[in-house]
């Protein structure tokens, strides 16, 4: 029994310390057995509190920590060289799944496959897809900013993360598990941890984006003599699929041969001249031709379709002109907010009612990007259509933002913080996030020469 065992056993339950030598052995070796490490102790915390305890003790006694997810990384990143090997496998709960917000919140040790299946169970789709998906974990996927076959259409893991929870090297927790799709409240701290490969902290949970399952996908196989032709096909498909090209995989002749031999399965195209094969997938959405019937069948009645380009442009002009038209109408108190889509209706209903009660002369002008939950939410007062409205600004902001925050929203969806909203920042970032932002700012700009007094409260 070593010193570390004595230290940690005072704080952790016995099942959070792995001492089964065969299990330890498999965790010390990477997937390909390319690397074999050593650890003074292997811990498997079952709660975030345990992770914090471990990290605090390690910080106090200068003990190194190697976080490990599914151990499918191919660079030896999860293989320890002494100290604590921290297996995240027991933090494996699906915390929340919200089809209304198109989001799922999971602990870091949930496997990618489990997330994919949970999404399917509510009629959604989680697009990250890797051959290692049965074993790799969400924490590992984030720590490595994993890619996979659907990046073309959905981006890497970085593009799929909405919120993160991380235990910092000092044991503090930074938790921002928000389903917001937009939030321009200063620095996006979580981006620091995506792709940080366990060097900045322990990822303990994440909120991820979900999508609708594609109605139909079309798989295509092609073979070519040279790569240029493959690239031509790529551009052709991109041009004609309006962004619905999901994957475009290149398979060299030898790779194909090895695989087809192994599977005893003939390739779709056999041509000895061709050195390169392409396997790609396109998502089909609802066919434009059948859209009117589909909408009608699904209960949407009051809908018209633009009959030509001219008509479509005219309709778009109506949308684009709102800002200019507002300017001519008068001065308003403007808000650039985002609220999770699932809470948007409740927010508007409650807040407009409260505004009306307190300011019966108010007129609310709301427009914006409903699809990503962000709105321009502007309040006019019919008895104060000039600059005199600004005497009410603080009170109106208070009224609007209180409800925005109560609905898990942000007051800076698109336009940032600047001077205008810096005093509201502490309502949207935790104290830990704010102090990290300050520390990073201080680190990079100790004399505060860059745009001082902006953003930071």
Find the part of the chain contacting ligand FAD (CB under 6 A) among 143-151, 345-353, 362-370, 421-429: 143-151
Q: Which of 72, 114, 178, 185 binds ligand FAD (CB under 6 A)?
A: 72
Nearer to ligand FAD, 88 or 355 (CB): 88
Exposed e or buried b per residue across 123-161, where buried means at least 16 C-beta atoms within 10 angstroms of its C-beta: ebbbbbbbebbebbbbbbbbbbbbbbbbbbbbebbeebb
Task: Determine if 163 is a binding residue for ligand FAD (CB under 6 A).
Answer: no
Instruction: Report which DSSP code applies to 292.
Output: H
The answer to whether the CB of 196 falls within 8 A of the CB of 143 is yes
CB of 197 to ligand FAD, least distance (A): 4
The answer to whether the CB of 195 falls within 8 A of the CB of 208 is no
Nearer to ligand FAD, 197 or 414 (CB): 197
State how far the alpha carbon of 139 is from the alpha carbons of 97, 121, 203, 335, 336, in Å: 17, 22, 6, 35, 32
Nearer to ligand FAD, 55 or 187 (CB): 55
Task: Determine if 77 is a binding residue for ligand FAD (CB under 6 A).
Answer: yes
Give the pairing type, strands 211-212 and 216-224. unpaired
**Span 192-221, contacts to ligand FAD by CB under 6 A:** 197-198, 202-203
Task: Determine if 132 is a binding residue for ligand FAD (CB under 6 A).
Answer: yes
Provide the edge-to-edge strand list for the sheet that holds 173-176: 94-98, 103-107, 202-209, 161-167, 173-176
Residue 321 φ then ψ, to 5°: -85, -5
Task: Determine if 143 is a binding residue for ligand FAD (CB under 6 A).
Answer: yes
CB of 84 to ligand FAD, least distance (A): 12
Q: Which of 62, 131, 304, 419 binds ligand FAD (CB under 6 A)?
A: 131
Task: Determine if 171 is a binding residue for ligand FAD (CB under 6 A).
Answer: no
CB of 71 to ligand FAD, least distance (A): 4
Residue 176 CB-density burial (10 A; 0-12 exposed, 13-18 middle, 19+ buried)? buried
Residue 367: closest CA among 303, 403, 324 = 324
Task: Determine if 88 is a binding residue for ligand FAD (CB under 6 A).
Answer: yes
Task: Determine if 100 is a binding residue for ligand FAD (CB under 6 A).
Answer: no
Nearer to ligand FAD, 68 or 207 (CB): 68
Residue 200: closest CA among 166, 157, 177 = 166
Nearer to ligand FAD, 77 or 179 (CB): 77
The answer to whether the CB of 68 falls within 8 A of the CB of 38 is no
Task: Determine if 127 is a binding residue for ligand FAD (CB under 6 A).
Answer: no
CA 396 from chain centre, in angstroms, equals 32
Q: Which of 12, 27, 43, 67 binds ligand FAD (CB under 6 A)?
A: 67
Q: Which residue is nearest to ligand FAD (CB)?
A: 140
Task: Determine if 39 is a binding residue for ligand FAD (CB under 6 A).
Answer: no
Mapped onto helix, strand or coil, the DSSP state of residue 216 is: strand
Give the pairing type, strands 84-87 and 65-68. parallel
Task: Determine if 80 is a binding residue for ligand FAD (CB under 6 A).
Answer: no
CB of 314 to ligand FAD, least distance (A): 46
Number of residues that bind ligand FAD (CB under 6 A): 31
For 55, the enclosing helix (H) or strand (E) is helix 48-61
Q: Which residues make up the interface to ligand FAD (CB under 6 A)?
A: 31, 66-74, 77-78, 88, 108, 130-132, 136-137, 139-141, 143-144, 146-148, 197-198, 202-203
């Amino acid at each position: 029994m070593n010193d570390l065992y004595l230290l940690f056993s005072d704080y952790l339950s016995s099942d959070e310390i792995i001492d089964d030598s065969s299990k330890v052995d498999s965790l010390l070796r990477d997937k390909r057995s390319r690397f074999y490490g050593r650890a003074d102790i292997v811990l498997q915390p079952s709660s975030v509190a345990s992770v914090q305890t471990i990290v605090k003790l390690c910080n106090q006694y200068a003990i190194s920590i190697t976080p490990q997810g599914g151990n499918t990384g191919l660079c030896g990143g999860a293989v320890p060289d002494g100290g604590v090997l921290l297996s995240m496998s027991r933090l494996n709960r699906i915390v929340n799944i919200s089809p209304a917000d198109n989001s799922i919140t999971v602990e870091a040790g949930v496997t990618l496959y489990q997330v994919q299946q949970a999404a399917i169970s509510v009629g959604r789709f989680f697009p990250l897809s890797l051959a290692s998906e049965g074993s790799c974990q969400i924490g590992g996927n984030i720590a490595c900013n994993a890619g996979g076959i659907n990046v073309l259409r959905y981006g890497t893991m970085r593009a799929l993360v909405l919120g993160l929870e991380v235990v910092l090297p000092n044991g503090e927790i930074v938790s921002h598990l928000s389903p917001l799709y937009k939030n321009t409240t200063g620095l996006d701290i979580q981006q620091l941890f995506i792709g940080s490969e366990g060097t900045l902290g322990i990822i303990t949970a994440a909120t991820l984006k979900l999508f609708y399952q594609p109605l139909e996908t079309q798989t295509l196989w092609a073979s070519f003599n040279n790569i240029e032709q493959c690239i031509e096909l790529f551009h052709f498909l991109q041009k004609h699929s309006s962004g619905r090209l999901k994957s475009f995989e290149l398979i060299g002749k030898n790779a194909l041969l090895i695989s087809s031999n192994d599977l005893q399965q003939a390739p779709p195209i056999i041509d000895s001249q061709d050195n390169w094969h392409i396997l790609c997938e396109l998502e089909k959405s609802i066919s434009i031709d059948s859209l009117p019937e589909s909408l009608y069948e699904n209960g949407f009645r009051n809908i018209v379709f633009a009959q030509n380009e001219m008509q479509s442009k005219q309709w778009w002009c109506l949308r684009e002109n709102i800002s200019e038209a507002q300017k001519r109408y008068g001065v308003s108190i403007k808000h650039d907010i985002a609220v999770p889509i699932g809470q948007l209706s409740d927010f508007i209903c409650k807040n407009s009612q409260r505004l009306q009660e307190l300011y019966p002369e108010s007129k609310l002008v709301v427009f914006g990007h409903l699809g990503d939950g962000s709105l321009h939410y502007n309040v006019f007062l019919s008895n104060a259509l000039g600059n005199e409205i600004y005497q009410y600004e603080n009170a109106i902001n208070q009224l609007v933002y209180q409800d925005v925050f109560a609905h898990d929203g942000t007051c800076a969806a698109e336009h940032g913080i600047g001077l205008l909203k810096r005093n509201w920042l502490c309502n949207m970032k935790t104290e830990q996030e704010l102090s990290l932002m300050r520390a990073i700012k201080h680190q990079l700009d100790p004399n505060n020469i860059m745009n001082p007094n902006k953003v930071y409260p």
